[in-house]
Each structure stands twice: as C-alpha cells, then as structure tokens.
Structure 1
C-alpha cells in the first residue's frame, strides 16, 4: 500500500487536456464517490499548427498556449497537486522543444505537466466515453479525432481491449490537404485515401474482433453530427450513406467559408473537411454501420483516472502486476527488495527531499520490476529492463514516469554513471539519483534471495551523505554483504555520494 492509501480524498478534481487543436479543462466535485461536473472550459489554441518545419513549437504558438493556461490556472488555485492532472498529446509528443515549453507551462500553472503516449491517450479517452454512456453489455468501438492523432478503441464496459493511436488529425490533414480553404473532389479524395492507408494496420484485427455499437467523441465528430442534422440528412446519427451524401455536399460548397451556412463555428471551419475525411475513411475501412456522438473525452478520462487512484483502483498497479506475470519475475524477491527499500526511504525521505507519494510509488515499482530484463538475457539485464520499461505501452503511465522508472532499473546495479539519467530533466536528476541509491542498497541487502525481512538498520541522510548503522551481529554473519557494501561505497563515491557504514567488526 502506498502513502496515498490513507490520504483524505480531495473535494474538487480537475483535468487539463493540452490537445494539438484545443486545450480543455474540466473541474468536478467528488460527492459520495461520484463525479459531478462543475465547470468546463475550452479554447482553440492550435498548438499543432504551431510546429515549424523542424518540428519545434514556434514562440507565437507557445504564447497562445501559455495565455490559455494562465486563464485555466486561476480556476485551479488552491487545489492539491494530487487532485489535478495536466497532459499533453500529439503536438507535444512530436515537438523537439517540448521540454522547454513544459517548463514554462508548469511555471504558469503551478502543477506538473505530463506527456502521454498515443495508446495511453486512447485508454483515457475510452475511460471518459464509457463513463458517459449506459453500462451496456457488449463491445463498443470508440473513435476520437484530435488535432494531430486519431484514437481507435474497442472495449467492453469500462475496460479497453484494443487500443491504437494513428498519426493523423484534423490540424495536420488541414495543413496538408485543405490549407487553401478550398474543398475540391481531388483534395477530399486524397485526404480520404491517406487516412485509409493509415487504417490498414488495424483494419483486419478490428473488424475481426467486432463491436455492437460505435461511438464518436471530440469536436470534429460532434461537428459532423451537427451538420448532418442541420442539413436534414439525418437526426445527427452518422451512417455510411449519410456520410457519402455529406461528402457530395461539401464538394458542392467548394470552400470552408460556406460551412457557416450549415452551422459550423468560425474557429472550426478550416479543420472541418479534414476531420470529416478521416471519419469517412474510418467508416469505409472498418465497415461501420452507424455511429452516435458521446460527450466524453480525454479530460473526463483523466478525472476518472484520478478517482480510480483515490479509490485504490489504480490501473498502474494492474500494469505492474501484468508485467511481473508476463516476464515471469520472482515476485517474492521483488517484494523483499521493495520492503527493504521502503524501510530505508521512510528514514531518509524528508532529509533527502524524496517524500512525495510519486517518489514512493516510483521506488516501489522499480523494486518490483528491477529484474525484468532477465527475460531477454542475464548479461546487461539492467539495460534490457530499462529499454522494456522506457518503450513499452504501459497503461496508466506517462512518458516521463516511464523514463524515470527505466532510469531506476537501469541504475540498480553495476556502475552508477551520468548516462543512467540521460534524457531526464536536470532538476529531477538529483531526486532520481537518491531514489536509485535506495534501490541499489535494497537489492544488495537482499542479495542472498532468501526473502528476509528488512535488516535492523538506522539510516540518516544529509546532502550527499548517507549513513547506515547496522547491528554488528547481523553484519558479522554476512561477510559477502560487507564486501558488497564496500564496493558500493566506491560506486556511489564516483557520483559524489558518500556512503558511511557503521556496525562492522574491526578487521584483524
């Protein structure tokens, strides 16, 4: 059980989705374990449109985003950090200067900003949509068209079974196929063909699994549903016949400016044909009969993800357990290492500034997974394990958290070098180095693999010095452990950390 287990649940929860086209914020109140939405805010920031030829966010795009976040920040004032989640999606996944922008965003908001992988975005979207629909049995297909990516999920009730995020969105397709504002047959056909090609990888497995109902989320699909209704093509329900009729009418209009005549908002007109082309390609490629619109998306999924952690239904715990099973880890040994590391952590967490819930979770999960690389090879297994954790799709985890987890596993044995923390934000390196020291010591103290309880040990830390005081009798019975500790002093010393061991019997 983590430190969050006994925490008082916050009354208000908030989530911010920094999408490639729009930024959205939702604030909800937690009442008897249920979420009640209090406020929704959204702004067209078009972060994805601010990517230059080198895939760097322009200063103008960053300023638009920061101004929007400044307005959001006023609503978040006073809320505890655990009650707020802020995530970035495709535009920040591809932006080469994302880390610099995130630092500015965090300064404006006062809360951490995380970048989530495409499949994690898909999982959260499904979570948000499924909570806005009736709890029906049977599989459902959910499609969410964003500014830079489109997510496709097949799930049942609240659990996703298939997740995919494809690199196509209404902003990127607008820039490529409808940048001049015209809607010609050739432009539409090219956009639909491109989207169909992207869908080839999931077409057969998705159609084989099948679904009983199809649901669309996001502004692009909501706009298509609205136009179908305004043109009296349908009651807002989407089907292939109606979509093909709308395609014909869009081409007859010939320009995005005429979309105002069918009720499309000015700020959505330029991206409407691009979103429509992606949706029509999905209908044709996946053989969708009919689709309805659901008013739930990534931001709602983030809220329910926070709620799950509060109610001790953390999807990340399930992910860690699944990894332990899949890679045949020695779970008893992992637990012994975890208990030893936590016994040390409780004594030094405050003095070493690693006392947050996130620090404890990171430490626990790194201990449980430190031998995951053995499934590939014993030689250099700490490096294999780091690679698996860095690049696997891990439901519930952000890209930054996966990178931190990978760093602790990479650094749990052998030399502790600066390369272990490569790619980590400089302000987090010292914190991760200290957590890594605790993992290393816990592994070392459980070297015998006999699942011992944590040894009698007193730990004190200050700055870059760690003092360990052992029961002399315990150490005298374990000469190999003494030798390991002596080696560890040398390893840590090269990283500027002084390890002092007390309790050893004097040498003869």
Structure 2
C-alpha cells in the first residue's frame, strides 16, 4: 500500500505553540502527532513592544524540540505560521532568524485577516453548518478574530488586538475585583465597537467559539454544572462573580479549568463577555477546529462538495474492514424504521436524525475488527474516542450511544441515556434492523410492515405468515419484547 502523504503545520500563537503532523487521508487530516507547549510569548512584550530575553528563550527551546521532531521532513510538507505577537514585536527582525534556525524551516508571519481566513477555513471544513451563516470567534493570546460566513469563503473577517494573555496581564495581575472585570470588559467593548455595526448588519445564524479560551469557558460551565453545553453571558457572569468573590482565578477553584490556563482565564473571559455584550450574542457553541486545521485544508486546497462526516464514515468503513453490503442493508432498514416512528417530528429533525442513524449503521460493525465478542461495545468506544473529522464530540457520543444499543442488555442504557424520544427511536430503529438482517443476505420484509409508537409503547406490525416461516427471527423478536421491559419503553409484536 502506498504511504499516505504526511503534512505538518506549526502554529506559533501568542499563548501556545502547536505542532500537528497529519496524514492526508483522501483530503482529510488523520492526526498522527499533536504537540502543544504553553510559551506565553505575548507575556514577554515590554512597554516598548519588545520581546524580553526570557520569552525568547522559552520560544527557542520549544522550537528546537519541534525541529528535532521534524528532522527529515521535506520543506514542501511543512508550513509554519506566526500570529499576533510576531506581528507586533518591535525586535522581531532580530529574533526571527534565530527562531527559523531552531525550527529548521521558514516561518510565515501572517496578517490578522489571513489568520481569520485560515481559522474560518478550518471551521467550515469540519463543522456541519448546513448552509447557515456562522459567526466564528477565536480568542488567542494577543488577538481575537471575528469571521462571518457560510460557504467556502468568509463574507467578513477582522482581527482585533484583544487577547487572553494581554488582557490578563493588563487588568488582572493583582487581586481581582469587580472593578477590574468591568474595566477589562469596557476596554474590549470599545475595540469590538469598531466592527459591531457591520457585523450586526451582516447577521448570522449560529455563533461558534474556537481555540483555548472558548474551550476553557465551555468546559468550566459544564463542569460547574451551569449548563450541559454551550456558553451564555449569564453563565460567564456567574464565573466572573466566583473569581471576584475569591479574589483570583486560582482561589476560585473552578472545576474543569486546567492549571495551564489559570493565569490567562480571567482575561479571556472578559474579552468573551465583551463580545457577547457588544454583538448581542445569545449563545455560543464550541468547536475543536482552529488555525492548524485551516492550515491543513489550505495546504491541500480541498473543495466543499461533500459533507466531511460522510467522507469520514466511508474512511472508517475502509479502516475497520466493514462489510459494506451488510452496512447498506442495516442502514436502509433502520432509516425506514426511523421514518415510521417519527412521523410527527419536523422534517429537518427527521433528516438530521436519519443521517445519524445511517452513519451509525455504516459503522455499527467496526468493533468486529477488534473482537467479535462484545463488538458493539468496541464500536461504541471507537466512535466516542477516535478522531473523526467533521463530527463534533457531541455527535460522536450520539453515534456511540446508538451503536451501543444495537444489541445486548438495555438495562444500563436505560439508566444512562436521557429520555429524548428521537434518541430512543434511533436506538430501536438500528437495533431491529440489526436483528432482522442478521442472516447477512438480501431480503424483503412483508408488505405493510410498520414500526410505530404511541407515547412510550413501540409496536411492530408484521405478517403472521412471515413470522411462522421465520421461527428463529420470531423468537428473537419475542426476546426483544422482554428486553424493552427493562427501559421506560415497551415493545410488542402485532401479528397481522
């Protein structure tokens, strides 16, 4: 087999440096190594905007380590970019040759809007926006990028001098008070005000946060049990109050906040609160896509003709040697069953869940590549933990739950799964399709076979003659009826 081309991106941010090595797997990044170091370069800028010796030393030590990992790589397969601190440092011309020598490759200092474009490129290739306009906000160490777009190219984009490192150093170097937070938010709002009118006029449908600050805020909100997911201004104000009451981020002991973000969390939180207030944002979701992903897709000049999640599902079938014929049988039947169950749901909701069920069917047997015994558990583990381009972590968890329920004991699922009708419909649809297709040959159900639901009661209407002719399947359906008694649903077979 021909080895996959290996591409490397190096993101030299104002807060952290990242090295990511990917294989170009049919236009998708298959990450084989990801190294991150908190360099805090922006923290080394003095009053004259010169990088001090300590920050230069930290940067060179990190770049030397990256350089060792990249020995033997071809220059055309490595792209290193530097962002805001490299842009603003007055002594960067003296420092840059040393940095390139340590890394062993040229370093591009990219403009703020180019940074914004690359961030958007990473998001639009990995987040399923379904044609909706996205406002993407990326708070870095020294700058914040704001981008609106829905297609391959952004519509408007801007980079402003707001960062978690610079704002933390400027406003939160001592005991933190409410006055400090208000001063930081006011300063950030005055910067964002420059673009707010244009952005509000343009408009957007969904708001996404990328990179470390958004991830940290979302994690803390979830771990503090303020919300299951997402970021709102109300929840951020609660976090700010916790920090003010404690006097520092460290003393606030916020659940879910990693130690390396303690010193810069307050600054990033203030910038994010300012963005919400100035742009009247109601809610934000976090996405893992970032500058490094945009660099990869920019590398290969990928087009957007297909949904990346579809490509990922197909590639996982290849990787785990899935029987595509069996996956197709199970997929078609499970989608049919889901449609039967979901006649009262909105068309868009049914379309979305039909895709989830179809992808679950495409991948329901990937665990067999590990072991046949308990393969559904292996499948669920892979789907929950693998790198799956295009799928959010929430979507991966959803696929994992659906495929875990394809066979076996339902008691544990009843104890852990939320009572979301479409989720349980999806579990039943896939579960019955797997049961009915277990002979692994093409077949047709008798006409007028319908899977229905009334409140919490599922029923399968199916020909009595067909059941008589297929006693093994008939017995399996009877056992299935017993299994559903362990849940808050019931299932019965109605012979017709």
Whether the TM-score (by the shorter chain) exceeds 0.5 is yes
The answer to whether 1:273 aligns with 2:283 is no
**CA separation in 1, counterparts of 2:117 and 2:132?**
18
Aligned to 2:121: 127
**CA separation in 2, counterparts of 1:47 and 1:245?**
30
Maintained 8 Å contact 2:217/2:269 = yes
Aligned to 2:294: 301
Displacement of 1:240 after TM fit?
Answer: 2.4
**CA separation in 2, counterparts of 1:239 and 1:94?**
32
Aligned to 2:68: 74
Maintained 8 Å contact 2:129/2:150 = no
Displacement of 1:303 after TM fit?
Answer: 1.1
Aligned to 1:37: 31
What TM-score, normalized to structure 1?
0.58
**CA separation in 2, counterparts of 1:125 and 1:259?**
32
**CA separation in 1, counterparts of 2:89 and 2:74?**
29
The answer to whether 1:162 aligns with 2:142 is no
Displacement of 1:241 after TM fit?
Answer: 2.3
Displacement of 1:251 after TM fit?
Answer: 1.9
Structure 2: gaps spanning 5 or more residues: 305-496
**Residue 207 to residue 228, structure 1, CA distance change in 2 (3 Å):** same
**Residue 202 to residue 217, structure 1, CA distance change in 2 (3 Å):** same
Displacement of 1:259 after TM fit?
Answer: 4.2
Displacement of 1:34 after TM fit?
Answer: 2.4
- Pairing of 1:180-195 with structure 2 (within 5 A): 180=174, 182-195=175-188
The answer to whether 1:229 aligns with 2:222 is yes
**CA separation in 2, counterparts of 1:105 and 1:46?**
15
Aligned to 1:86: 80
272, 278, 288: which is aligned to 1:285?
Answer: 278
Maintained 8 Å contact 2:224/2:254 = no
Aligned to 1:101: 95
**Residue 19 to residue 253, structure 1, CA distance change in 2 (3 Å):** same
Aligned to 2:20: 26
Deviation sequence 1:105-152 (CA, Å, 0-9, x none): 111111101100111111111111222211511100000001110000
Displacement of 1:78 after TM fit?
Answer: 1.6
- Pairing of 1:76-475 with structure 2 (within 5 A): 76-180=70-174, 182-308=175-301
Displacement of 1:46 after TM fit?
Answer: 0.7
**CA separation in 1, counterparts of 2:101 and 2:136?**
35
49, 63, 69: which is aligned to 2:43?
Answer: 49
Post-superposition, which runs of at least 4 consecutive aligned residues in structure 1 deviate over 4 A? Answer: none
Number of positions where the alignment pairs a residue of Structure 1 with one of Structure 2 = 303
Question: For 1:203, what is the secondary structure of its paired residue?
Answer: helix
Displacement of 1:245 after TM fit?
Answer: 2.5
Question: For 2:29, what is the secondary structure of its paired residue?
Answer: strand
Question: For 1:160, what is the secondary structure of its paired residue?
Answer: coil
**CA separation in 2, counterparts of 1:282 and 1:244?**
13
**CA separation in 1, counterparts of 2:252 and 2:214?**
15
Aligned to 1:15: 9
Displacement of 1:157 after TM fit?
Answer: 3.1
Question: For 1:142, what is the secondary structure of its paired residue?
Answer: strand
Maintained 8 Å contact 1:178/1:273 = yes
Deviation sequence 1:218-245 (CA, Å, 0-9, x none): 1111110111111111113112222232
> Which deviates more, 196-205 or 261-270?
261-270
**Residue 33 to residue 257, structure 1, CA distance change in 2 (3 Å):** closer
Aligned to 1:58: 52
**Residue 104 to residue 206, structure 1, CA distance change in 2 (3 Å):** same
Maintained 8 Å contact 1:230/1:262 = yes
What TM-score, normalized to structure 2?
0.59
Question: For 1:290, what is the secondary structure of its paired residue?
Answer: coil
**CA separation in 1, counterparts of 2:9 and 2:303?**
15
Backbone CA RMSD of aligned residues: 1.9
Displacement of 1:33 after TM fit?
Answer: 2.8
**Residue 213 to residue 309, structure 1, CA distance change in 2 (3 Å):** closer
Maintained 8 Å contact 2:83/2:112 = yes
